[in-house]
């Protein structure tokens, strides 16, 4: 039942994107750049948005940690806090410091302390539907963030791209769609292996990170991700020392990748075949940048749930994360 529940949450992504297409764009002052703070399933939305901003010659810096970076006072970014629960302590520390420093602040989340801070301090807050694990709220969180960035003149209005992405993803996650069978095949080949996801370009990097975190959280399995061409300057050497370590590589690709990257992927695959098993190459689908990124991401979602089913894992709970939070809270209180 737990696997089926997560499958339904994955299948809800198109509906979340359509919800986001109907959001009102907040009226914000134009910003020179954005600093977006968020962790885990909430923060990943910022990584997708950063690629979209780069394509529009705008800068979005993702802050995954406590407090403001030192440069923020001089650069005066719009600071956006992302927290689906509204209670992520790292994110709360960033927006609190930003407000105290006199920076413009906005936020996106389902409620909690973040929404309360927004009400008390008078900054714009996009409230998203609650009730899902943060990792299953990507469509809501990303849509809310894109609306904020549009309101600050950092991106065009996102409605058209959200509707197209929703249609593309709906086709892919349909029960009779090809992605389910392909995801099951990839998952079956990853059983007993550490998953390494290779990104061929900036566009495929956020989906590769999403694959990694979804496999961690849904399948409760180890996974990492790397980016071409950087991985050819270090990681490639590690495959000579894989005795007793079972590794499976999935490469995420896009039609805009350069010929130089395509050549590197072919040669890297050939040279590392003795130490790591090449599981699959997954190509993006769709026209817009957003559609292509989300088409790759949703395949990772499906693979992570299929891998959970293959290994008998319950994708829903996250006990170790909760235990960590409880111990941190107890340590902070001195108990």
User: What structural domains does the chain harbor?
Assistant: 26-156 (3.40.50.10490), 175-311 (3.40.50.10490)
Cα 52 to Cα 288: distance, rounded to the nearest angstrom: 10
pLDDT of residue 258: 96
What is the arithmetic mean of pLDDT over 178-193? Answer: 93
50: its two tokens: 């950063």
Residue 105 has pLDDT above 80, yes or no: yes
Residues in the chain: 335
Q: Is the pLDDT of residue 335 over 60?
A: no
Least confident of 31-40, 140-149, 184-193, 231-240: 231-240
CB 214 within 8 A of CB 304: yes
pLDDT band for position 201 (cuts 50, 70, 90): confident
Q: Which two tokens stand for residue 191?
A: 């059983």
**Using 50, 70 and 90 to split pLDDT, how confident is the model at 179?**
confident
Span of 117-131, 166-180, 321-335 with lowest mean pLDDT: 321-335
Report residue 243's pLDDT band, with 50, 70 and 90 as the boundaries: low
pLDDT for 244 equals: 66
Percent of the chain residues topping a pLDDT of 70: 93
Residue 2: predicted pLDDT = 82
pLDDT value of position 322: 66
- Average pLDDT for the chain: 93
Among 37-41, 154-158, 295-299, 316-320, the minimum mean pLDDT is found in 316-320
| pLDDT digits 0-9 by tens, 72-96 | 999 999 999 999 999 999 999 999 9
Predicted TM-score (pTM) of this structure: 0.94
CA distance 261 to 198: 12
By C-alpha distance, which of 204, 177, 184 is closest to 279? 184
Read off the pLDDT of residues 223-239 as tens digits, 9 standing for 90 and up.
999 999 999 999 988 87
Measured CA to CA, the distance from residue 287 to residue 161 in angstroms comes to 9
Does the pLDDT value for residue 304 go beyond 90? yes
């Amino acid at each position: 039942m737990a696997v089926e529940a997560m499958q339904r949450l994955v299948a809800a992504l198109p509906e979340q994107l359509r919800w986001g297409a109907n959001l009102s764009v907040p009226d914000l002052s134009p910003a020179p750049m954005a600093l977006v703070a968020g962790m885990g399933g909430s923060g990943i939305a910022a990584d997708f948005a950063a690629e979209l901003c780069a394509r529009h010659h705008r800068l979005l810096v993702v802050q995954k940690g406590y407090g403001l970076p030192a440069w923020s006072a001089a650069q005066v970014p719009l600071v956006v806090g992302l927290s689906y629960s509204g209670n992520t302590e790292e994110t709360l520390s960033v927006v609190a410091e930003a407000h105290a420093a006199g920076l413009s602040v906005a936020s996106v989340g389902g409620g909690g302390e973040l929404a309360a801070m927004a009400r008390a301090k008078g900054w714009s807050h996009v409230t998203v539907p609650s009730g899902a694990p943060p990792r299953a709220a990507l469509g809501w969180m990303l849509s809310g963030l894109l609306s904020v960035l549009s309101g600050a003149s950092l991106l065009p209005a996102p409605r058209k791209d959200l509707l197209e992405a929703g249609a593309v993803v709906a086709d892919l996650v349909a029960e009779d769609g090809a992605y389910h069978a392909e995801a099951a095949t990839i998952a079956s080949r990853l059983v007993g292996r550490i998953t390494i996801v290779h990104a061929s370009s900036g566009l495929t990097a956020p989906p590769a990170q999403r694959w990694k975190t979804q496999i961690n959280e849904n399948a409760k399995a180890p996974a990492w991700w790397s980016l071409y061409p950087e991985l050819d300057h270090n990681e490639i050497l590690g495959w000579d020392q894989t005795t007793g370590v079972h590794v499976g590589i999935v490469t995420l690709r896009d039609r805009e990748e350069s010929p130089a990257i395509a050549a590197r992927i072919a040669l890297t695959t050939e040279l590392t075949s003795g130490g790591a098993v090449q599981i699959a190459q997954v190509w993006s689908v769709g026209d817009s940048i957003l559609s292509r990124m989300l088409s790759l991401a949703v395949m990772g979602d499906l693979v992570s749930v299929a891998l959970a089913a293959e290994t008998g894992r319950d994708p829903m709970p996250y006990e170790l994360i909760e235990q960590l939070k409880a111990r941190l809270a107890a340590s902070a209180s001195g108990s």
